[in-house]
Structure 1
Amino acid sequence: MNQTCLKYLLSPWLKYIPKKNISNLNTDSRTINKGELFLAISGTKKDGRNFIFQAIKKKAAAILYETKIKEEHGICEYIYNIPIIKFLDLSKNISILASRFYHEPEKKLKIIGVTGTNGKTTVIQLINQLNHLLGQKTATMGTLGNGFHNHLYPTKNTTSSPIFIHSFLSKVYKKKTKLVTMEVSSHGLIQNRVKSIPFYIAIFTNLTQDHLDYHENMEKYASAKWLLFSKHKVQKIILNADDQYGQKWLKKLFNCYTVAVTIKNPTQKKYAKKWLNATHIKYYNNYVNIKFESSWGDSEISSCLIGDFNVTNLLLSLAALLEIGHNLSDIVTLCKNIQPINGRMQIFTKNNKPIFIVDYAHTPDALKKTLNAIKLHYKKYIWCIFGCGGEKDITKRSIMGAIAEKMSNQVIITNDNPRNEKERNIIKNILSGCKKKNKIFVIPNRKKAISYAYFKAKNNHIIFVAGKGHENKQIFHNRSIIYSDQQTILNLLEKHI
């Protein structure tokens, strides 16, 4: 168990601090243990300052109380001999406090952070896979879970809390890990969850419509992503220069160590320290072949990952591995051993049966790109099964309805995670973007929707199931039920041979 002196912990901000030893940091009064430091912050859903007496009752060693008033900073009061210290903008400084509590593990590791609307999970998992194949140990944090490659534990958030992040980094460092990959969400950036992390490499995948229920508009969403490159400690930046924001940021980051990937034209090379670009791409049913040129040399790779966007993901990952010191020929040799990413363009097939493809696509751009990829590789009749999450960006629903109708031969609208919204309202929003509503099936039960497509589809059809990918739960109201698209499909293929 960690034991840190409160005086040491707060010394960068305050001079007069009570002598106390702290066993842990905690923002949740429900889980406070004796001897911990309770951080009473103003959260997005609940205000921790309303639960001070609960923390006192559980014998917290001390309490930091968030204040927005500069003059109150450092004021200390006592209740039952427990110091309650007012701390200016506490929520913005938890990452730094956590870093000090865990003795700055982040400074002893190489950390790769990946941000963007789509592709974050695939990029870090590709880096993890290849680094593992190259004989190196990798710890990772992201949507698929936290832990070591092939040993992941579930997580609720793409980017965890700052206290958890530093606790995790401390543990993996003690296990002699040198490289950590991390998905960095816009929420995580806005909420200062990675404020004290010095990224060795920061990667940008793309930026398209998502999370507008939180960010309000694309300008604010882009500003949140830009924080990683403009306000955080980053040694090297790898940008997808095929994205409109990537092109813009490449010019703004002219004086930084920047690697441009999938450049649009040769003139972009002048803005980058290094570059990597595909010169010829050939698509086959279940794989892709990519010839590329780069600052490290020219070569060719083959991969089972399908779609244009996965070409970009592969090249971004390749650039990161080259920047941490791996040899180009070694990486190229191992690319043929890459396995599909869980729930990302994952193919399920059996002889003389329709081909299922499962993907996490839950944004308009992701849905469009995945359907494009299927058309590009297979050129077959496509069934598209999808829904939209409740209590999330409403404006994207009709757009996704229009995309599915235009780009597939048959659409089934179903439930995603309705949460506390009425299912019929979400479906109605999706249908509002469709022109031929009478040709679209509505089957709210997801398992029944997939089963219907399976029994109606012909053997040479593609059944694309979008939105949930790797997830094994569905959320209705405040209740989660066990459910997996992948398991539903496997059951169908096994039982109906």
Structure 2
Amino acid sequence: MNKTSLKYLLSPWIKNVPNKYILNLNMDSRNLNKGDLFIAVPGIKKDGRNFIFEAIYKKVSTILYETEKKEIHGIFKYINNILIIYFFKLSEKISMIASRFYKEPGKKLKIIGVTGTNGKTTIIQLINQWSTILGNKIATMGTLGNGVYNFLKPSKNTTSSAIFIHSFLSMALEKQAKLVTMEVSSHGLIQNRVKDVPFHIAIFSNLTQDHLDYHMNMKQYESAKWLLFSTHKVKKIILNADDQYGKIWLKKLLDFYTISVTIKNSEQRKYSTKWINATDIKYYNHSVRITFESSWGKGEISSCLIGYFNVTNLLLSLACLLELGYNLSDLIRTSKKITPVHGRMETFFRIKKPTFIIDYAHTPDALQKTLDAIYLHYRKYIWCIFGCGGERDQKKRPIMGAIAEKMSDKVILTNDNPRNEKEIKIIQDILSGCKNKKKILIIPNRKKAIYYAYLKSKHNHIILIAGKGHEEQQIIKNRDIKYSDKKTVLNLLENKI
């Protein structure tokens, strides 16, 4: 059990703190225990400061209470012998407090952070796979789960809370992992969840429309992502210099250690410390071959990952591993062993049956790139089954409808995670972007939509199921219903219907 002096923990911000000991940090009043330090701050849905009497009842050691009044910062009082300390801008300091509580574990690890709209999970998992194939132990945090690679526990958020992150880094040290990979979301950056994480390498994949229900516009969304490279602890930066924002940021970061990764524009290398550039790409039915040149030398890698965007993901991952000191020839030799990431362009095919592709694409850019990739590799009749999440960015719905209609031969609009929105309202929003409604079917039940496509398709057709990827539940109203696109597909292909 971690036992830490409150005086030591708060010494950078508050003097004359009573000399007490705390056993744990906690922001959730439902899980408080005796001896905890309860950090009471405003949240998105609930304000933790409304639960201090619950914390007192549970006999926590101390309560840190966020105040908007700078003049009362550091003042403390007691209620029922429970110490309450007022702390100005406490939300911004939680990451630093957690780091001190867990004895600064990040300083003893090499931490890789990946941010961007699309590709975070794939890049993280490629680094994890490649590193593991070459015999190294790696811990990871992200959409697919948290833990030592191949032994993951489900995660609720792309980027976990500040307290959990430093607790996880401490666990990674205990498990003798030397490398940690982490997905970094825009929400996590805005909410200071990784503020005191010392990133050895930060990677940027791309920036396209998403989360505008939270960020309001693209300028604010860009500003959130830029925080990782402008205000956080980062030693080296790897940028997708083909992305419009990546190009701008590369020039803004001239004085930093930057690595540019390109497919289209090798001229970007002049703005970077190191670089990697694809010189030739060959696409096959279920694979891709990439010839490249780089600061580390020339070479060719082969992979069963498909799509133009996965070429970028592979090269970003390759650049990261080269910068970590892995041998180029070893990486080239093992590239064929990398398998598709769960729920990311994951392909399922059987003889004389249609080919299914499951992908997490839930933004306009991701859907377009996914359909582009399918056409590029297969050039066959394409079914596209998708929906949009309820209580999320509504502006993207008609855009995604227009993309699906233009790039598919047949579209089935269905449910994603409708949450508390009316299913038909979400579908009508998507449909408003479509012109040729004759090629579009509406089947709200997701499983029935997939069954219909399977029964009506031919063996040489491609059926894309987009939006949910790896997820194993659907959120309908306030209920999590057990459901998996992958299980549905496998049952069909194995005649278990």
- Tell me which interval the TM-score lies in, with the shorter structure as reference length: over 0.9
1:121 is matched with which residue? 121
- The alpha carbon displacement at 1:19 in A equals 1.6
Mapped partners of 1:305, 1:316: distance in 2: 14
1:325 is matched with which residue? 325
Mapped partners of 2:12, 2:93: distance in 1: 11
3-state SS of 1:291 partner: strand
Mapped partners of 1:42, 1:482: distance in 2: 32
Contact 2:242 2:265 in 1 (8 A): no
1:365 is matched with which residue? 365
Mapped partners of 2:13, 2:310: distance in 1: 46
1:472 is matched with which residue? 472
Mapped partners of 2:266, 2:177: distance in 1: 38
Is 1:184 aligned with 2:216?
Answer: no
1:274 is matched with which residue? 274
Contact 2:405 2:439 in 1 (8 A): no
- The alpha carbon displacement at 1:265 in A equals 3.2
3-state SS of 1:177 partner: coil
Mapped partners of 2:42, 2:460: distance in 1: 55
Mapped partners of 1:91, 1:234: distance in 2: 21
Mapped partners of 1:330, 1:30: distance in 2: 49
1:223 is matched with which residue? 223
CA deviation digits over 1:237-267, x for unaligned, max 9? Answer: 0000010000000000011000000164343
Would the alpha carbon gap of residues 412 and 208 (structure 1) be closer, same or farther in structure 2, given more than 3 Å must change?
same
What is the identity percentage for the equivalent residue pairs of Structure 1 and Structure 2? 71
3-state SS of 1:358 partner: strand
- The alpha carbon displacement at 1:438 in A equals 3.0
Mapped partners of 1:389, 1:263: distance in 2: 32
1:96 is matched with which residue? 96
Mapped partners of 1:455, 1:496: distance in 2: 14
2:147 is matched with which residue? 147
Contact 2:105 2:166 in 1 (8 A): yes
Mapped partners of 2:166, 2:340: distance in 1: 30
Instruction: Write the letter of the residue equivalent to 2:134.
Output: L
Instruction: Write the letter of the residue equivalent to 2:493.
Output: L
CA deviation digits over 1:418-449, x for unaligned, max 9? Answer: 00100010000000000012321000000000
Mapped partners of 1:68, 1:322: distance in 2: 46
1:245 is matched with which residue? 245
3-state SS of 1:200 partner: strand
Mapped partners of 1:269, 1:471: distance in 2: 38
Mapped partners of 1:231, 1:267: distance in 2: 27
1:53 is matched with which residue? 53
Would the alpha carbon gap of residues 263 and 269 (structure 1) be closer, same or farther in structure 2, given more than 3 Å must change?
farther
Is 1:449 aligned with 2:461?
Answer: no
Instruction: Write the letter of the residue equivalent to 1:488.
Output: T
Mapped partners of 2:167, 2:265: distance in 1: 43
What is the aligned length? 497
Mapped partners of 2:84, 2:213: distance in 1: 35
3-state SS of 1:283 partner: strand
The aligned runs of 1:19-418 (5 Å cut-off) are: 19-262=19-262, 264-418=264-418
Mapped partners of 2:405, 2:351: distance in 1: 28
- The alpha carbon displacement at 1:44 in A equals 1.2
Contact 1:241 1:260 in 2 (8 A): yes
Would the alpha carbon gap of residues 65 and 496 (structure 1) be closer, same or farther in structure 2, given more than 3 Å must change?
closer
Instruction: Write the letter of the residue equivalent to 1:132.
Output: T
Instruction: Write the letter of the residue equivalent to 2:338.
Output: I
Mapped partners of 2:163, 2:221: distance in 1: 25
Instruction: Write the letter of the residue equivalent to 1:29.
Output: S
3-state SS of 1:495 partner: coil
CA deviation digits over 1:66-102, x for unaligned, max 9? Answer: 0011101001010011110000111111000000000
CA deviation digits over 1:366-405, x for unaligned, max 9? Answer: 0000000000000000000000000000000000000000
Mapped partners of 2:339, 2:235: distance in 1: 30
3-state SS of 2:168 partner: helix
3-state SS of 2:180 partner: strand
Contact 1:2 1:24 in 2 (8 A): yes
Instruction: Write the letter of the residue equivalent to 1:415.
Output: N
Q: CA RMSD in A?
A: 0.8
Contact 1:276 1:315 in 2 (8 A): yes
TM-score, scaled to structure 2: 0.99
Stretch of structure 1 that moved more, 397-406 or 40-49? 40-49
Contact 1:200 1:235 in 2 (8 A): yes
Mapped partners of 2:473, 2:225: distance in 1: 28
Mapped partners of 1:436, 1:270: distance in 2: 46
Contact 2:275 2:294 in 1 (8 A): yes
- The alpha carbon displacement at 1:496 in A equals 6.5
Mapped partners of 2:292, 2:242: distance in 1: 15
Contact 1:209 1:365 in 2 (8 A): yes
3-state SS of 1:87 partner: strand
Mapped partners of 1:151, 1:280: distance in 2: 36
